[in-house]
Amino acid sequence: MQFTLDKATRGQSLTIDLLPSGVIKSQLIRFGIMEGEKVTCLDRLVGGTVILQKKRLEIALGCDLAKSIMVTDEK
Amino acid sequence: MRSERANSKTNDTEQELEELILVEKKTKSLVLVGNPNVGKSLIFNYLSGMYAEVSNFPGTTVSITSANYKDYQLYDTPGIYGVSSFNDEERVARDIILDGDVILNVVNALNLERDLFLTLQLIDMGKRVSVILNMMDEVKKKKLRIDTKKLSEILGVNIYETSAIKKIGFEKLDEAIKSAKVGRQDKPIQPAVGGLKEIYEVVKVKSHSLLILEGDKELTKQYLLNYHNDDLREEIYINRRNRVNEIVDLTESEDTKQGIFFSKLGRLCLNPVSGIPILILVLALIYFFVGDLISQRLVNYTENTIGKNYFEYWTKTFISKYTSVDITAKILNDNNEVIDQKTFHFPNGIDSDHIIYQSFKNFSVNRNNEKSFHFYHPIPSFFFGEFGVITMTLTYLIFLLLPLVIAFYFSLALLEDSGYLPRLAALVDKSFTKIGLNGRAIIPIILGFGCVTMATITTRILGTEREKSIATAILQFTIPCSAQLAVIAVLLSGAGLKAILIYSFVILLVMILTSTILNKIIPGQSSPLLLDLPPMRIPQLNNVFKKTYYRTIGFMKEATPWFFVGAAGIGLMQLTGILEIWHEVLKPFTVQLLQLPKEAATAFVMGMIRRDFGAAGLFELDLTAEQIVIALITITLFVPCIASFVIMLKERGWKQGLIVWSGTWIFAFLIGGLVSHIII
Ligand SMILES: Nc1nc2c(ncn2[C@@H]2O[C@H](COP(=O)(O)OP(=O)(O)O)[C@@H](O)[C@H]2O)c(=O)[nH]1
Ligand SMILES: [Mg+2]
């Protein structure tokens, strides 16, 4: 199922489908968050801030940013 | 000027020319480059013998530290995830990297996936690089295996394993510097090569051409080129990213799954159910340590007993042997109320009149008492009187502020090293977006409780000019720095719980209102949070002590001259009667608006010099609990100290700096007056 990242729940394995364009995309790519990559939603805080995990890397994404990222969960 | 080795074979003459220049340039530059929190500063400190701050959160090194190391000029740079100009830290680092002759790329071995992106970019730029693979101790602990030899083959540069915290592997740093070389550059960016060549024809420097190809606007402008292609940057980045993933697959393997205590703790700090209690616990611990143990018990002893009863009393008594003086002794009961009082006159100094001196001694002996000296002559009064340049300054600085400042810096250093701050940033992100900031802004704000000046510089870690303006205004307007907070803590905890609550409530409210209003009037949008969370760690005590020590020394060095100058200024104003005039001029504000004694105006003059100094000026006044709250609110909101004002002008420009500065005058009195009329 496809949805925006801010809707993700804790522990979900996700595949990134679409990133917002512009400089922020380049920044995400540097962290290894790019279209087609698999990540884990480590946590979703009240208000929609999402913590993604990729190997030993933990990255916090603000709610508005999370809203602009499309993901699919793995079933 | 550049020490680049051009890669293309067609430019042999170019290359020779560049090498010739390289020989002529006497000191070469050696640059430590790496992601945030990888151990750059530890290595810098080791090589230079100097001290650069070591922390466990991104954004500590916002300015460049530099030192001589052997034949090199050594630079510590801010942590970056790539060479580009997406934010201030990157711009600063980029310029130094472009000029760098030798790059020591410090890599966190635990996060190869993240760190190698920068490594590959540096290699693609054609820089001479050696890789320092740091955190090997943790790699072993986590049963991770890295095939260093293979990694070195793939990258085409030498790799040296270290554990910076234990200085393991540091003996090879010299070799790393000597053996730095141009690595194996990316071939597969085929579509890009055409563009690269074209740009190279004009630019002549490989590293510059690559960055221009990757869409670095500033460099493009420098060369008066008209080239911009965001898509190409993305293409290059994705390609580089894929190479990193491949390399990591080839060189890294994990024996067991991690999942030890600290990553769990890190998660607990984020979870709202446990995160908010943890936050409260952290704040409570800091309060008990700094607010109660140090500021009440210890400072009471150092300031009153050592400072006032011994140091000041002895100094003043000694001076009183040689000059005319009146000494007033007040006898206090257990509640510190005056129950008896007597003034003794010594027109020819205390040694000339043994009988009066004896009766003065008998009057106060073995009783809880306070003595004040009034010198007849202006000169002893200037140095040793009520605002005595020597007596007051030393008592405040050494017996009041010093223990408090040490305690503050110590707590802050513990917090910084634990990795808690970035988690706090994630936790507060949502609330901060409502006031036009993102969670990252919590870092300068917390640092502001240490030193507003330093924190104002740290606003550079924020993404947009808008966020920097809002954060700077909050810092300069509402955040009391450690030294001021110290004085506030002493005064407030004396005034009771209600006073503490009113004070905190008002300051918090002002902070929220200020940023909400600024968020409305400053055009544009703030950037979203994108923050890499470093692992939680037990703070290294030795680093915590070191940091506390250096910051305290820094504080004393900066504060001491200002305290003397300030005390001398106030002393002169008092001697010449200007202070009295100032009291009268400000009387409508201090007395009518704030309902304070007119002498409180002295604190405002002092506050313009230093915030802590201003708050300290309130000590001498006899204030009720309500008056203390009002005076403290006003002095907190009142103008920032000279140092942070100057930094604000530098960082934010004249216009904004002056607006904020004059705004603090108006609003400090307005809000103070409002609260005054509500609670009194
Ligand atoms: N366990 C471990 N921690 C390290 C090592 N090197 C650095 N650190 C920690 O990593 C954090 C960042 O170090 P710092 O030198 O400030 O990194 P910088 O941001 O790159 O300048 C600090 O908390 C250090 O104590 C290491 O080799 N092993
Ligand atoms: Mg550093």
Cβ atoms within 10 A of the Cβ of A50, count?
30
CA distance A1 to chain B (A): 25
**Per-residue pLDDT band at B263 (split at 50, 70, 90):** low
CA distance A3 to chain B (A): 19
**Per-residue pLDDT band at B7 (split at 50, 70, 90):** very low
Query: What digits encode the pLDDT tens for the residues B73-87?
Result: 999 988 899 999 888
First CA to last CA distance, chain B: 69
Structure tokens that stand for B60 in this block: 């500590």
Q: Where are the alpha helices (DSSP H) in B386-437?
A: 391-394, 402-418, 420-434
CA A37 to chain centre: 10
d(CA B209, CA B219): 9
Contact yes or no for B110 and A56 at CB 8 A: yes
Which domains, ranges and CATH numbers included, belong to chain B?
Answer: 8-186 (3.40.50.300), 295-388 (no CATH), 396-679 (no CATH)
Query: What digits encode the pLDDT tens for the residues B561-616?
Result: 877 887 888 888 888 888 889 888 888 888 999 999 988 888 888 787 777 777 77
Q: pLDDT value at position B569?
A: 84
Q: Report the atom number in ligand 1 closest to the C-alpha of B164.
A: 27
- Which range, B18-27, B398-407, B496-505, is most confident? B496-505
Q: CA B244 → CA B2, B40, B327, B636, distances in Å? A: 28, 21, 78, 50
Question: For chain B, what percent of residues have pLDDT higher than 90?
Answer: 30
Average of per-residue pLDDT values in chain B: 84
**E-strand spans in B123-271?**
128-134, 144-146, 159-161, 181-182, 252-254
Query: What digits encode the pLDDT tens for the residues B643-671?
Result: 788 888 888 889 999 999 999 989 999 99
**Per-residue pLDDT band at B35 (split at 50, 70, 90):** very high
Which CATH code of 3.55.50.30, 3.40.50.300, 2.30.30.90, 3.30.70.20 fits the domain covering A2-73? 2.30.30.90
Mean pLDDT over residues B525-549, rounded?
88
User: Tokens 């490989």 belong to which residue?
Assistant: B206
The total number of residues shown for chain B amounts to 680
Q: Does A24 touch chain B (CB under 8 A)?
A: yes
Residues 6 or more apart whose CB falls under 8 angstroms from that of B166 comprise: B137
d(CA B345, CA B327): 7
Q: pLDDT value at position B57?
A: 56
How much is the ipTM here? 0.95
| C-beta of residue B59 within 8 angstroms of C-beta of residue B458 | yes
- B434: nearest CA partner in chain A: A47
Q: pLDDT value at position B191?
A: 47
Q: pLDDT value at position B18?
A: 54
Average of per-residue pLDDT values in chain A: 90
Structure tokens that stand for B145 in this block: 């295996």
Q: CA A63 → CA A8, A31, A36, A60, B354, distances in Å? A: 11, 18, 21, 9, 78
d(CA B91, CA B507): 35
Q: Which of A26, A49, A59 sits opposite B532 (nearest CB)?
A: A59
Q: Report the atom number in ligand 1 closest to the C-alpha of B162.
A: 27
Query: What digits encode the pLDDT tens for the residues B38-53?
Result: 999 899 999 988 777 7
Choice between B490 and B625, residue whose per-residue pLDDT is larger? B625
Phi-psi bin for B376: left (phi > 0), alpha (psi -120 to 50), beta? alpha
Pick among B525, B529, B536 to test the A interface (most A CBs inside 10 A): B529
DSSP B295: I
| C-beta of residue B633 within 8 angstroms of C-beta of residue B679 | no
CB of B198 within 6 A of ligand 1: the answer is no
d(CA B91, CA B72): 22
d(CA B413, CA B421): 11
When mean pLDDT is compared across B226-235, B319-328, B451-460, B598-607, the lowest value belongs to B226-235
The closest of B102, B476, B428, B444 to B275, measured between CA atoms, is B428
User: Tokens 């220049």 belong to which residue?
Assistant: B21
Query: What digits encode the pLDDT tens for the residues B348-376?
Result: 888 888 888 888 888 877 777 778 888 88
| C-beta of residue B100 within 8 angstroms of C-beta of residue B137 | no
Helix (H) or strand (E) holding B329: strand B325-332
User: Tokens 């304070």 belong to which residue?
Assistant: B596
Q: Is B481 helix (H, G, I), strand (E, B) or coil?
A: coil
| C-beta of residue B404 within 8 angstroms of C-beta of residue B296 | no
Query: What digits encode the pLDDT tens for the residues B523-532?
Result: 988 889 999 9
CA B278 to chain centre: 24
Cβ atoms within 10 A of the Cβ of B172, count?
15
Q: pLDDT value at position B61?
A: 52
Q: Which of A27, A61, A63 sits opposite B86 (nearest CB)?
A: A27
Query: What digits encode the pLDDT tens for the residues B175-218?
Result: 999 999 998 887 655 445 556 777 777 778 888 888 888 888 88
The total number of residues shown for chain A amounts to 75
Q: Is B2 helix (H, G, I), strand (E, B) or coil?
A: coil
When mean pLDDT is compared across B19-28, B82-91, B289-298, the lowest value belongs to B19-28
What does residue B340 show for φ and ψ, rounded to 5 degrees?
-155, 155
Q: Which of B114, B267, B275 sits opposite A32 (nearest CB)?
A: B114
Pick among A5, A23, A44 to test the B interface (most B CBs inside 10 A): A23
Task: Classify strands A57-61 and A2-4 as parallel, antiparallel or unpaired.
Answer: unpaired
Q: Does B259 touch chain A (CB under 8 A)?
A: no
User: Tokens 């070799």 belong to which residue?
Assistant: B175
The CA B66 to ligand 2 mean position distance, Å, reads 12
Is residue A62's pLDDT more than 60? yes
Is residue B436's pLDDT more than 70? yes
Task: Classify strands B72-76 and B102-108 as parallel, antiparallel or unpaired.
Answer: unpaired
CA distance B85 to chain A (A): 10
Contact yes or no for B439 and A54 at CB 8 A: no
d(CA B176, CA B154): 17
Cβ atoms within 10 A of the Cβ of B633, count?
23
d(CA B74, CA B522): 40
Contact yes or no for A62 and B233 at CB 8 A: no
Helix (H) or strand (E) holding B345: strand B338-346
Is residue B454's pLDDT more than 50? yes
The closest of B444, B416, B419 to B432, measured between CA atoms, is B444
CB of B65 within 6 A of ligand 1: the answer is no
d(CA B123, CA A60): 29
Helix (H) or strand (E) holding B61: none
Chain A residues whose CB is inside 8 A of the B110 CB are: 56
Is residue B4's pLDDT more than 80? no
pTM given for the model: 0.81
- The amino acid at B579: L
The closest of B612, B379, B601 to B480, measured between CA atoms, is B612
Cross-strand partners of B108:
B134
